Amino acid sequence: MGTAQASDVSNATQRSYVVRGEKTRSMELLLRGHCAGVGRTERHAAGATWYEERGVCMANETSSTSTPRVVRVGAEARDLIRAAQRAGLRVGLVPTMGALHDGHLSLVEAARRECRFTVATVFVNPTQFGPQEDFSRYPRTWDEDLAALGRVGVDLVFAPEVSEMYPPNCTTAIAPPRVAMPLEGQCRPGHFRGVATIVMKLFQLLPADAAYFGQKDYQQTLVVRHMVEDLNMPIAIEVRPTVRDPDGLALSSRNRYLSAAERQQALAIIRGLRHALELVRQGERNAIVLQNAIRATLIDASIRSIDYVAVVDPESLGNLELLAGPAMALVACRVGATRLIDNLRLE
């Protein structure tokens, strides 16, 4: 809660977990249209005059450098999204915590390709940080974020205060699905409870047709997808490949914490993952052998604070002994004081 560079070729399969049913032919025709392409009578009937007067369609109707509309109140954002949908526009949502990089912007670009109205959120969610984690120092780069979102053509930015999302006496939270229990669930108790709760709140306030997430946070994508399926939520969850720097380091807002030497050290993560992939392609099927190969690569780079190295089932995250099909290799470790995660599909 991710284009400048192509993602891993081995990891580049796009996935679409569609929960919402297909729209009718007439609605699909409307979705292909622009705000300006919706007929005058239809726009008026759908309340789109109200919608256009508020400047909601700027990024789709003007240049990609337009400043997106910023809303900080949930009810107002919901009204704008509903108005866009009444005008026949498919709405895409990109939830972020800000400190944007090209991975986030690639999600926005995917949403803009597939939807006619794009919403991004900028909200550092306190409930997904543990007491010893970096909530207070998590990078907040509002001016840069807003400029970047304007360049890629976001229509609406929802940037609430904490009090908007968690008003006084707010005591309800979402119990995450079973897939939240291993890996990050063990290393960061309560993290996915906070993630599931804020995503549910965002989906309630911002009732988009599709939401876009990056594969770098692989376990998070499973948590969100399972929650949406389990609770019959009418939204498509779109997962896009990890975006990497040319040397392979997965883009992350926390990369800015790394010194030059630490950044070089961090490259051992993708080296280890790619080494495991090469072993699989050479015929290795023993999950422990693959995990040990990744771990050895990290240790050789003097990365010794390792939360986990896992080769698991890609759907359940259950442990594997022998690979009988695709698997996911996942790593979480600290380079200096910075905790980094990454993953790669093995097949």
- Kindly state whether residues 226 and 262 are assigned to the same domain: no
- Kindly state whether residues 145 and 210 are assigned to the same domain: yes
User: Which residues are known to be catalytic?
Assistant: 104
- Kindly state whether residues 267 and 208 are assigned to the same domain: no
Residue 328 has pLDDT above 50, yes or no: yes
Helix axes 191-205, 218-230, angle to 10 degrees: 60
Determine what percent of the chain is predicted with pLDDT higher than 90. Answer: 79
The pLDDT of residue 132 is: 83
pLDDT in tens, 150-172: 999 999 999 999 999 999 999 99
- Distance in angstroms (rounded) separating the CA atoms of residues 29 and 100: 33
Residue 39 has pLDDT above 70, yes or no: no
For residues 91 and 31, the model is more confident at: 91
Query: Judging by beta carbons within 10 Å of its beta carbon (0-12, 13-18, 19+), is residue 335 exposed, middle or buried?
Result: buried
For residues 98 and 22, the model is more confident at: 98
User: What confidence tier does 63 reach under pLDDT thresholds 50, 70, 90?
Assistant: very low
Domain at 293, CATH number:
3.30.1300.10
Token representation of residue 303: 């990365």
- Kindly state whether residues 161 and 15 are assigned to the same domain: yes
What mean pLDDT do residues 306-332 have? 98
Q: 249 lies in a domain?
A: no
- Cβ proximity of 35 and 52 under 8 Å: yes
From 26-35, 75-84, 144-153, 175-184, the region with the lowest mean pLDDT: 26-35
Please say which residue of 181, 207, 240 terminates a domain.
240
Residue 3 has pLDDT above 70, yes or no: no
Determine what percent of the chain is predicted with pLDDT higher than 70. Answer: 81
Residue 5 has pLDDT above 90, yes or no: no
Q: 250 lies in a domain?
A: no
Burial of 157-184, coded b for 16+ CB within 10 Å and e otherwise, reads bbbbeeebbbeeeeeeebebbebbebbb
Q: 246 lies in a domain?
A: no
- Kindly state whether residues 135 and 275 are assigned to the same domain: no
pLDDT in tens, 175-229: 999 999 999 999 999 999 999 999 999 999 999 999 999 999 999 999 999 999 9
- Kindly state whether residues 184 and 133 are assigned to the same domain: yes
Q: What's the domain range around 325?
A: 258-346
Q: What is the mean pLDDT of the chain?
A: 86
- Kindly state whether residues 35 and 93 are assigned to the same domain: yes
User: What confidence tier does 66 reach under pLDDT thresholds 50, 70, 90?
Assistant: confident
The pLDDT of residue 122 is: 98
- Distance in angstroms (rounded) separating the CA atoms of residues 159 and 36: 27
Q: Is the pTM of this model over 0.75?
A: yes
Instruction: Kindly report the number of other CB atoms within 10 A of residue 130's CB atom.
Output: 13
The pLDDT of residue 134 is: 86
pLDDT in tens, 254-312: 999 999 999 999 999 999 999 999 999 999 999 999 999 999 999 999 999 999 999 99
